[in-house]
Amino acid sequence: MRLNILILGFILFSFVANSQDPVFSQFYAHPLELNPALAGNSGGTRFGINYRNQFSGLPSNYTTYAISADQYFPGIRSGVGISVMADEAGQGIYRTYNGELSYTYGVEFRNGTKVKMGLQAGFISVTLDYDKFIFMDQIDPIHGPISPGGIPYPTAEAPPDFRNRTLFDMGAGGLLSNDKFYVGIGLKHLNRPDINFYAAENNTKKGLSMRISAMAGFRIPIGDIRYGHRSEMAIIPNLLIVKQANLGQINAGALLEIKALQFGLYYRNGFLNPDAIILSVGYNSGQFKVAYSYDATISKLGINSGGAHELSLSYVLFQDDGGKYHDCTKIFR
């Protein structure tokens, strides 16, 4: 119902300054969003597309889109990337757009260990469709929020000073990896951009909370490993912890790799409450990669929420070693 959508919009409006950034369940398929140090990680030119539809069973769902591209420059040991993401909540009542440029510089030691540091700069834009809101003082007990003449009843609530904010945003990250494991950390909103819609709040609130994304994983080959080639089977456990203000999530699970096929099983916990079981299936040829995942909701929202559907596509050109990577960060390519 339209009223349900608008009430949800009001909730979003009230808590937007303390909200958590959207994070894909296939977090490894959109690496630049979590850690700019992963720019150029493919060793070539990588293009990626991501789509997520969450809570399709509820009156108002959440939809997230992302596109990205990054390039590695071996002559200067650097990677450069660009990413754009759009998130719509409450059927477009609240929209967030992000666009960032990422740069990373890395060194490799004789034992194969790699250390990379990354910087990120761009913009964040938030839009509020205030005209879709319905407040309690607008609801007539007989006619509802709309008068018999088709005009919404007035409200005493003060409208926002801004309905769109576009601000500078910046981040940083680091990554340590080798053939056996990886650990990394990404920091977003270092400058804490002020996305409040009321001017009076600009001096009372500290802006968007910094987001911390800590990641780690390792690779367990199954079967024979020949020099210069990765094993045809492997288990790849990995962990992602995201914290933003008092909100956060823990993603823990693993991918099973059988030749070009990948199967994933993850558990996501919202710090205090269980959230979802995530199942995924994908195909990775070394250059082309496609994957689908489904979030089975185990929180109080229940299975009737519709869970979340996610699709990712990526393609790598000019990979300098023919796709023979077998280190742990291969899951981000």
State how far the Cα of 235 lies from the Cα of 324, in Å rounded to an integer.
17
Q: Name the one residue in this structure whose structure tokens are 């185990």.
A: 298
Q: What pLDDT, on a 0 to 100 scale, did the predictor assign at position 225?
A: 58
pLDDT of 11: 46
pLDDT for position 94: 85
Give the list of residues 6+ apart from residue 53 with CB closer than 8 angstroms, or none: 61, 62, 63, 308, 309, 310
CA dihedral 248→331→312→39, nearest 10 degrees, is 80
Give the Å distances, CA to CA, from 48 to 90, 309, 316: 26, 17, 9
| CATH code assigned to 2-222+231-332 | 2.40.160.40
H/E segment holding residue 244:
strand 233-244
User: Which of 10, 128, 130, 29 has the alpha carbon at shortest distance from 85?
Assistant: 29
Please give the Cα distance from 128 to 16 (Å, whole number).
10
- What pTM value is reported for the model? 0.84
Q: What is the largest CA-CA distance in the chain?
A: 78
Distance CA 95, CA 125 (A): 8
Residue 92 burial (CB < 10 Å; 0-12/13-18/19+)?
Answer: middle
CA–CA gap between residue 98 and residue 93 (Å, rounded): 17
Q: Residue 139: phi, psi to the nearest 5?
A: -95, 110
Q: How far is Cα 30 from Cα 50, in angstroms, rounded to an integer?
A: 7
Amino acid sitting at position 60: S
Q: Enumerate the domain spans of the chain.
A: 2-222+231-332
pLDDT in tens, the chain (333 residues): 344 444 444 444 444 445 678 899 999 999 999 999 999 998 889 999 999 998 665 666 789 999 999 999 999 999 999 999 999 887 778 889 999 999 999 998 988 899 999 999 999 999 888 777 777 766 766 666 666 666 676 676 677 777 788 999 999 999 999 888 999 999 999 999 988 877 765 555 568 899 999 999 998 888 765 555 556 788 999 999 999 988 899 999 999 999 899 999 999 998 888 889 999 999 998 889 999 999 988 876 666 667 889 999 999 987 665 444 556 788 888
Contact 122, 98 (CB under 8 A): yes
**Cα distance between residue 12 and residue 126, in whole Å:** 12
Q: SS3 of 114, please?
A: strand
What's residue 137's pLDDT? 67
Residue 270 structure tokens? 């919202």
What's the Rg (C-alpha) of the chain? 22
Rounded distance between C-alpha atoms, residue 280 and residue 295, angstroms: 9
239-274 b/e with 16+ CB inside 10 Å = b? bbbbbbeebbbbbebbbebeeeebebebebbeeeee
Question: What was the pLDDT predicted at 267?
Answer: 96
By the 8 A CB rule, do 259 and 249 touch?
no
Q: What number of helices (H) and strands (E) belong to the chain?
A: 2, 15
